[in-house]
Amino acid sequence: MERGYDVLQKAPAIVLKKFVMNLGVLVHYTGNSPHLLAITRELFRFLLVLRYHSPPAQATPRPAPPPPAIVTSMASLDISAPSLTSLKLPGSIGNSAGVSGALANVSSASLPYNPDLLESILFDLLILVTPSTHAISDELMVHEFYAEIMECQQWAMELWEVYKQDPDSADKSRMYCAGLLQRCFELMKVSM
C-alpha cells in the first residue's frame, strides 16, 4: 500500500482540494487542543509546500500492450540511454482544463502555483492566521509563526497582482486572498 507523498502525487486535484479544505476545518475546531501550536505549524508547512504541487495529467486509457517476446540473446535488445532533451521535467505537464483568464497562466508562466488548489490553500491559510478561539493571541501568533506569516503575506501580494489583472476570475479565491492580506497586515502591526 502506498503512503505519503507518492499518494499525494497521484491524487486528482478535486480530491486534494477537498482534503486541504477539510484540514482547515479540522484545525478551526481544534481551538482548545493543547497541541494547537504543533498542528498549526505542521499545516503551515504543508500548505506553503503544497502551493507548488502540480497534479498529474489525467491519463487517457490505452489498449493493453502485447505480451513481451522471449529474449534469446542480449544482442537482440535495443537499449539506449535517454538524451537530456527527451526528459520531461516535473511541472511541464501543462495547464489544467477549465481554468481561464490570468489565473490559467499562474501554474505555468509567471507563478508556479496550481490554480485548482489556490482556493483551498488560501482558505486554510486564512483559517490559520485567524484563530477561532483566544487560545492563540495575536502576539503569540506573530511570535511563533513570524516567518510563515511573512511568507503568506508575500505570496498573497503576488497573487493579488494577478487578480488585479483579471477582475472576472475566481471570486472566492480573490476574497480569501484579500482577507489573508488584510489579516497578515494586522498581525504585522501587532509585531511593531
- The pLDDT, as a whole number, for residue 165 is 80
Whether 133 is covered by a domain: the verdict is yes
Q: 32-47, pLDDT tens digit by residue?
A: 888 999 999 999 999 9
Whether 17 is covered by a domain: the verdict is yes
Most confident of 76-85, 105-114, 141-150: 141-150
* Total of domains in the chain: 1
Q: CB count, 10 Å around CB of 139? A: 11
DSSP 132: S
Whether 80 is covered by a domain: the verdict is no
Q: 68-94, pLDDT tens digit by residue?
A: 555 555 455 454 444 444 434 343 333
Domain containing residue 130: 5-57+98-191
Whether 131 is covered by a domain: the verdict is yes
Q: What share of the chain is helix, strand, coil (3-state, %, to 5)?
A: 60, 0, 40
Whether 15 is covered by a domain: the verdict is yes
Residue partners of 130: CB distance under 8 A and separation at least 6: 179, 183
